[in-house]
Amino acid sequence: MSEWNKNIVQIRDSIKQLRAQIESYEPRDRLDAVSKVAECLNFMRQTNAGWLSFLGNATLVNGLDEESLKDIFARFRMMTLERIDNDVDCIDRYMLNLVPRSDAPAGEQ
């Protein structure tokens, strides 16, 4: 097995372990919920950086055929659209009216 394949297998296995860990999360309280959300976001940040690094490596990307690249794009487009929908839904549910308007007349806040 090449060094590249060994490294990718290790990365994949670490991601699978992290998935199992995140799947088991049950926040104990508000502070723990914040911490767990931050951990999820941190993973997404790391994986996005990894994919950007991979896509920036012409030698590696050239090893993929057009069908593979189109499949990767379709998957990332789907995840991006789901993420956008999730962001809009969370904003609508939890963030609108979170802070009272400062321009409302006294007594109407």
Full DSSP string of 33-79: HHHHHHHHHHHHHHHHHHHHHHHT-HHHHTTS-HHHHHHHHHHHHHH
At which residue do the structure tokens 């993929």 appear? 64
Listed by start position, the domains of the chain span 1-63, 65-97
- Of residues 60, 70, 52, 46, the one with CA closest to residue 5: 60
Segment 45-71, tens digit of pLDDT: 999 999 999 999 999 999 999 999 999
Binning pLDDT at 50, 70 and 90, where does residue 102 land? confident
Binning pLDDT at 50, 70 and 90, where does residue 104 land? low
Mean pLDDT over 39-43 rounds to: 96
Q: Does pLDDT of 81 surpass 70?
A: yes
Mean pLDDT over 2-21 rounds to: 94
